[in-house]
Amino acid sequence: MKFFNREKEMEYILHILNREPDDIYFIYGPINSGKTALINEIINNRLNKDKYVVFYFDLREIFISKYDDFIEVLFEEYEYDKKPTEVIKSLIKDIPSLYGIPIPKNTLEEILKKKTTKNVFRYITNVLMDIKKEGKQSIIIIDELQKIGDLKLNGFLIYELFNYFVSLTKHKHLCHVFCLSSDSLFIERVYSEAMLYGRCKYILVDDFDKETAIKFMDFLSEEILNKKLSDNEKELIYSYVGGKPKDIKYVVEESSIRNLKEVLKEMLRDEIQKLKYFLEDVEEEDKELYNKVVDALRLFKEAYEVEDIKIPKKIREFLVKKNVLFLNPQKGILKPQSYLVWNAIKGLL
């Protein structure tokens, strides 16, 4: 299927890539808003393959519980007798991105033995400098970076990594760095971190607004159904799932073989059940917490967005961590993770 929309975000990211590296960029947004799809479209179809070398690390693909797990994500080991840059040259001929930094097997074993990020970062820097000498620009993309947020190695590994990224971007101007995350608590933590002040910027990839969501429905109906949806059908879909791309796509696909209203009612029923069981578990565990959570959710009966400070910090963090709410730390706004969740809140409370 052809990629839809996100031209504004895409244009901005391509504009960043045309400049000298100078900041860490965090691409964040609600669950299933299209962050990974956006970055993959840029990597696969919008970059000049002769100009850029992309290293894409998807941390959701591996269970990370210790330092060695994370290091294994970063590197792709090889046994033959070639320099890493020669390996990269041979690999990037036909593919736009690499899923690990090439490293000789014996070198990786030495790095893992020493258990220090210093050797890891030094090796990566040398590879990036070799790439620059070849006249190419390196890009590092880490998807779901928050997965190493609590990992420790002589202190939190995440802080060592941030310091290294600052060195690559702000100091050496050697490599563009993009970090993707749907964990808005992690983004809030990064946003308020003093060490990153003036060294990072944020790109929100949100659910579609209503106008764009309707256009997306038109796009999908022609691609999938080979017909147009009526205005009433589009309004009905939006009233249930809002501008969540994944939900809209699911509804349109299912409506090819099932009744549209039944599909939407089933989705809402499932979301209400999930919320009901979630609240039941909270009440069973802690009655006082349950009452505070219900009070917080009641604020959304009349509004889709609520100012963050209207909900006590511990309660909002709890609801964000449980993926009931999404926090935009730049605007100080809380909203349900999706329109379906919003409709479930209104229906249940």
Tell me the per-residue pLDDT of 30-70, one tens digit each, with 9 for 90 and over.
999 999 999 999 998 999 888 999 999 988 877 888 878 88
The tens digit of pLDDT for each residue in 1-17 reads 567 889 999 999 999 99
| CA separation for the pair 338, 323 (Å, rounded) | 10
Q: What is the pLDDT of residue 5?
A: 84
Could you tell me if 69 and 189 lie in one domain?
yes
Could you tell me if 198 and 65 lie in one domain?
yes
Q: Are 344 and 272 in contact (CB under 8 A)?
A: yes
The tens digit of pLDDT for each residue in 152-204 reads 656 678 888 888 999 999 999 999 999 999 998 988 888 887 678 889 999 99
List the alpha helices (DSSP H) in the chain.
7-17, 35-41, 67-74, 84-91, 105-114, 117-133, 157-166, 184-191, 210-220, 231-241, 245-254, 260-285, 287-298, 313-321, 339-348
Could you tell me if 115 and 179 lie in one domain?
yes
| CA separation for the pair 123, 115 (Å, rounded) | 14
- Return the closest-CA partner of residue 55 out of 158, 176, 145: 176
**How many structural domains does the chain have?**
3
Sign of CA dihedral 193, 195, 198, 201: negative
What is the average per-residue pLDDT within 114-142?
Answer: 88
pTM: 0.91
Identity of the amino acid at 170? K
Residue 263 lies in a domain: no
CATH number of domain containing 320: 1.10.10.10
Could you tell me if 148 and 229 lie in one domain?
no
Q: Are 243 and 339 in contact (CB under 8 A)?
A: yes
Could you tell me if 58 and 170 lie in one domain?
yes
Residue 324 belongs to domain spanning: 277-349
